[in-house]
């Protein structure tokens, strides 16, 4: 039996397709002299990837006796187009010479993985890509040389190797039978032990000497910045005390005193004082915020996801709250897709932000830090 | 500006100015309108008409699911089946089902229930079970079975004794008024997560004109629109969502009509049409001009066909006077008449007279549109051949290579019995408060992902 698995396109299969195209082309034309060869890429492959493929074709044709020339001396023109349909790449050679035109088509099964989008450039807010994967990254936490990544089905331990985080071990996490569609998750690491909060589950364990996770099916309060809050069952919002349901919370503060900011389910962003009494609203923010400390400005910034939806790239901008007014202190940084998670990284300062790439379809987790300008 | 138009404009601009949110909110009823009157949501009762089938294909996946899904690149992915395997001959297939899935009547999805649902769908399949593994055997190789099983007509449903059918999808049917309106409510137990929306209210049988007005007057949240409305609506604050250009707009000649049986006349009509003008002027550059029947993304070779007009060559083909030809268009299609008239103007340049009419009877040729349902090139071309009565040009064997498929399509086009004009996307307009979360909300296939959509509310 053959297991369902996507057919991978490899250098081998590219070479085989190029060979077949060359063989079929030669069969149609015989060895030709003074051929003008041109290439076109009509696929989603990058110009570089396509160029590599075309070089293989040219080499195969040469090795079979075909000789190429400039335009003025041409006796035949061959246009090789790399095209695609849902299942295959199509290598199409159009051969034009007296007395007519020949067509050769060769197919090459596609790889399952589409080209991935790459992160945006650095700005005053510094973005550093940490990990990317197909499953939604809910939260990350750093140990000394290790990184722990929480997604709805796994807790995965990464180690730094050659400047990249490479997965080492993964432990499964139980899932609800009908998990929420917009899952949230929080991870706290303390030394070699951790705690994780997920919809319907509370987990704990250790990362050393080996990765071990134990989960219990119970709703426990999540440790948010203003204190414990309960995730609403089956939903993506929190409740705490008499506060209206909210998505996220961050502390703000200046000489006017400490305040809290809540992004509410009803669309408002509400500023409350230390006694949790309403002190104003803020316009133009999205639903995720994370407070962070830095050596810049007032020393306290709120990282804010800006409004958008799945059709648009997400963006994050840093604000300070001065005399209960929100003031943008950095330009926004644009992400490859909407923001699906934004949590403070308490151990390192800054925050982690996860974006669901519009083109790649993958979840990319970034470390987000504030860089003081000149 | 009329009061009505002013009011409509104000509503859309007002909605556009609303503060949007990032994270999705639960709740609300989505108001959807569609032109087709879908009589039944039963996946076992599939309409033969292509337009009706395409409309039903948008509704069925809201309630019912298939063993296998296709992703945005048309690659098979797990649906109700978590994994599958086959023997080397592609005759024996084994599927492992997703555990803990329940039908909306509360019963658990079992391998027996899935077998019972699949058995009537194809008599050549021998469907059975071995423990918790679903077996599908066939006497002939079926390498494309995953694609077949991903078709909504192969959805898994549970038929109760009372005639009720239950699905496993994100919504369940709360009310079904055949061909008129339906109310779907969120399936709280949906294995992939309860939808954000509480319910979806669907109005069927609404003309495109009425849908547009309802969107502008904030009486609907999601409507079908013609591509020529895209720019105007976007400028007025509506959100536009489109699939891939999978709707073929073509001119076909009626068999048996004397003028239409003359191949030179057909070729002259084909050569006279300026597709680029149709595309840029009437369709405002939405979709693609088409020289091939299959769109480029589906075949990979459609660029090999030429769509350039050649009026001089067309004139040379007409050596004897040709009586006026009657071109019929769909009178319920708001842009079809303008397209037909444009084609008539082009044909005049080739020395041909076309009389355009909204009546199909007595026509020599007709302007038609066909939503292409299949995600694979060979079955898609077969669909076109069947819908446009080109069966004599469709050679089922050998169709297993892309070269033979190209040759078949080339033969169809060179017959000029069908003249491809445009490939258009299924296009939808929505209020700005309708948002999507993990997907664009409308798939490349043109199907809706209402389970992934949510409604924003106005900021106080």
Q: Which of A3, A25, A44, A85 to mutate to test the interface with B (most CBs of B within 10 A)?
A: A85
Alpha-carbon gap, residue A94 to A104, rounded angstroms: 7
Residue B195 CA, distance from chain mean position: 23
Q: Residue B19: which of A181, A234, A283 has the nearest Cβ? A: A283
Domains of chain A, start order: 2-109 (3.40.50), 123-174+224-372 (no CATH)
**Quick check: A85 and B19 CB within 8 A?**
no
> Residues 91..110 of A with a Cβ closer than 8 Å to B: which?
92, 94, 103, 105, 107, 110
Query: In the CATH scheme, what is the homologous superfamily, with its name and number, of domain B1-60+169-243+430-460?
Result: Periplasmic binding protein-like II (3.40.190.10)
**Per residue of chain A (374 residues), what is the pLDDT tens digit?**
444 433 334 556 778 888 888 888 888 877 777 788 888 888 877 677 778 888 888 888 888 888 887 666 777 888 999 998 888 889 999 988 877 788 899 988 875 433 332 323 233 788 889 999 999 999 999 887 889 999 999 999 999 888 889 999 999 998 877 888 899 999 998 888 999 999 999 999 998 888 899 999 988 999 998 889 999 988 999 999 888 999 999 998 765 567 899 999 988 899 888 888 888 888 888 899 999 888 777 778 899 998 776 677 889 999 888 777 787 888 888 999 999 999 998 777 789 999 999 888 899 999 998 887 65
Chain B residues inside the 8 Å CB shell of A114: 73
Judged by CB atoms closer than 8 Å, whether chains meet at B87 and A2 is answered as yes
Which ipTM value was assigned to this complex?
0.72
Residues above pLDDT 90, as percent of chain A: 34
CATH fold of B247-424 reads Dipeptide-binding Protein; domain 3 (3.10.105)
Top CATH class, B65-168: alpha beta
- Exposure string of B373-412, with b = 16+ CB inside 10 Å and e = fewer, is bbbbbbbbbbbbbebbebeebbeeeebeebbebbbbbeeb
Residue in chain A closest to B439 (alpha carbons) equals: A310
Q: Chain A residues with CB inside 8 Å of B303's CB?
A: 42, 81, 83
* B193·A361 Cβ contact <8 A: no
Q: Do B441 and A310 touch (CB under 8 A)?
A: yes
> Structure tokens of A65?
């006796």
- Between positions 436 and 455 of B, the ones with CB within 8 A of A are 436-441, 451-452
Those of residues 245-304 in A touching chain B at CB distance below 8 A are 247, 263, 265-268, 283-284, 286-288
- Residue B350 CA to residue B277 CA, distance in Å, equals 16
Task: Tell me the C-alpha distance between A198 and A219, whole Å.
Answer: 8
Range list for CATH 3.10.105.10 in chain B: 247-424
Chain region(s) in chain B for CATH 3.40.190.10: 1-60+169-243+430-460, 65-168
pLDDT digits (tens, 9 = 90+) for B105-137: 999 999 999 999 999 998 889 999 998 899 999
Residue A211 CA to residue B179 CA, distance in Å, equals 57
Residue B55 pLDDT > 60 = yes
Q: What is the pTM of this model?
A: 0.76
Query: How far from A246 is each of A201, B33, B202, B216, CA to CA, in Å?
Result: 20, 33, 31, 32
């Amino acid at each position: 039996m053959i297991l369902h698995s996507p057919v991978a396109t490899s250098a081998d299969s590219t070479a085989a397709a190029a060979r077949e195209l060359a063989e079929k082309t030669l069969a149609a034309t015989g060895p030709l002299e003074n051929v003008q060869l041109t290439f076109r890429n009509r696929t989603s492959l990058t110009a570089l990837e396509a160029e590599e493929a075309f070089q293989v074709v040219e080499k195969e044709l040469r090795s079979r006796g075909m000789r190429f020339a400039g335009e003025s001396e041409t006796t035949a023109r061959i246009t090789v187009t790399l095209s695609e349909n849902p299942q295959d790449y199509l290598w199409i050679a159009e051969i034009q010479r007296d007395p007519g035109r020949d067509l050769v088509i060769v197919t090459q099964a596609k790889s399952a993985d589409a080209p991935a989008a790459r992160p945006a450039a650095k700005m005053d807010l510094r973005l550093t890509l940490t990990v990317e994967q197909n499953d939604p990254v809910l939260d990350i936490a750093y140990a000394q040389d290790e990184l722990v990544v929480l997604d709805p089905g796994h807790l995965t331990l990464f180690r730094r190797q050659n400047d990249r985080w490479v997965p080492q071990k993964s432990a499964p996490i139980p899932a609800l039978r009908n998990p929420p569609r917009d899952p949230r998750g929080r991870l706290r690491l303390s030394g070699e032990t951790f705690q994780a909060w997920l919809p319907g589950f509370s987990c704990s364990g250790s990362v050393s000497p080996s990765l071990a996770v134990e989960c219990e099916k119970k709703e426990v309060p999540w440790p948010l910045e203003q204190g414990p809050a309960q995730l609403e069952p089956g939903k993506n919002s929190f409740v705490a005390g008499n506060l209206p349901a909210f998505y996220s919370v961050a502390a703000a503060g200046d000489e006017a005193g400490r305040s809290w900011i809540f992004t509410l389910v009803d669309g408002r962003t509400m500023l409350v004082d230390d006694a949790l009494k309403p002190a104003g609203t803020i316009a133009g923010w999205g639903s995720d915020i994370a407070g962070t400390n830095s050596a810049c400005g007032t020393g306290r910034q709120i990282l804010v996801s800006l409004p958008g939806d799945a059709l648009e790239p997400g963006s994050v901008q840093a604000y300070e709250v001065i005399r209960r007014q929100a003031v943008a202190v950095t330009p926004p940084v644009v992400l490859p897709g909407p923001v699906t998670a934004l949590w403070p990284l308490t151990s390192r300062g800054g925050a982690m932000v996860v974006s669901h790439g519009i083109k790649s379809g993958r979840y990319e987790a970034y470390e987000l830090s504030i860089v003081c300008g000149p | 500006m009329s009061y009505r138009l002013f009011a409509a404009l104000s509503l859309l601009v007002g909605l556009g100015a609303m503060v949007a949110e990032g994270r999705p909110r639960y709740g609300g009823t989505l108001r959807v309108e569609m032109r087709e009157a879908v009589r039944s949501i039963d996946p076992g009762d599939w309409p033969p008409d292509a337009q009706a089938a395409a409309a039903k294909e948008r509704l069925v996946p809201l309630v019912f699911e298939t063993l296998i899904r296709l992703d945005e690149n048309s690659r098979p992915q797990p649906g109700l089946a978590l994994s599958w395997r086959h023997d080397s001959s592609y005759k024996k297939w084994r599927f492992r089902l997703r555990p803990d899935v329940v039908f909306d009547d509360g019963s658990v999805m079992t391998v027996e229930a899935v077998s019972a649902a699949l058995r009537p769908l194809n008599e050549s399949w021998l469907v059975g079970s071995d423990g918790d593994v679903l077996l599908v055997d066939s006497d002939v190789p079926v390498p494309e079975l995953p694609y077949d099983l991903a078709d909504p007509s192969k959805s898994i449903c549970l038929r109760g004794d009372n005639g009720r059918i239950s699905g496993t999808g994100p919504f369940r049917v709360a009310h079904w008024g055949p061909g008129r309106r339906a109310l779907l409510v969120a399936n709280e137990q949906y294995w992939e997560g309860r939808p954000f929306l509480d319910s979806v209210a669907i109005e069927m049988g609404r003309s495109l004109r009425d849908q547009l007005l309802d969107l502008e007057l904030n009486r609907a949240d999601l409507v079908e629109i013609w591509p020529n409305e895209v720019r105007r609506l976007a400028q007025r604050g509506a959100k536009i969502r489109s699939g891939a250009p999978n709707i073929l707009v073509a001119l076909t000649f009626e068999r048996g009509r004397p003028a239409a049986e003359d191949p030179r006349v057909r070729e002259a009509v084909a050569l006279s049409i300026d597709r680029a003008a149709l595309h840029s002027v009437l369709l405002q550059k939405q979709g693609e001009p088409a020289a091939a029947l299959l769109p480029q993304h589906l075949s990979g070779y459609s660029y090999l066909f030429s769509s350039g007009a050649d009026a001089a060559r067309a004139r040379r083909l007409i050596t004897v006077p040709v009586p006026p030809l009657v071109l019929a268009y769909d009178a319920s299609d708001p842009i079809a008449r303008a397209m037909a008239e444009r084609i008539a103007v082009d044909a005049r340049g080739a020395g041909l007279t076309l009389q355009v009419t909204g009546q199909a009877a007595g026509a020599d040729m007709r302007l038609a549109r066909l939503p292409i349902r299949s995600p694979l090139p060979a079955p898609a071309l077969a669909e076109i051949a069947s819908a446009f009565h080109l069966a004599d040009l469709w050679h089922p064997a050998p169709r297993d290579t892309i070269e033979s498929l190209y040759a078949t399509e080339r033969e169809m086009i060179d017959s000029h019995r069908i003249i491809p004009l445009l490939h258009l996307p299924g296009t939808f307009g929505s209020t700005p408060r309708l948002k999507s979360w993990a997907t664009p909300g409308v798939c490349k296939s043109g199907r809706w992902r209402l389970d992934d959509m949510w409604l924003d509310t106005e900021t106080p």
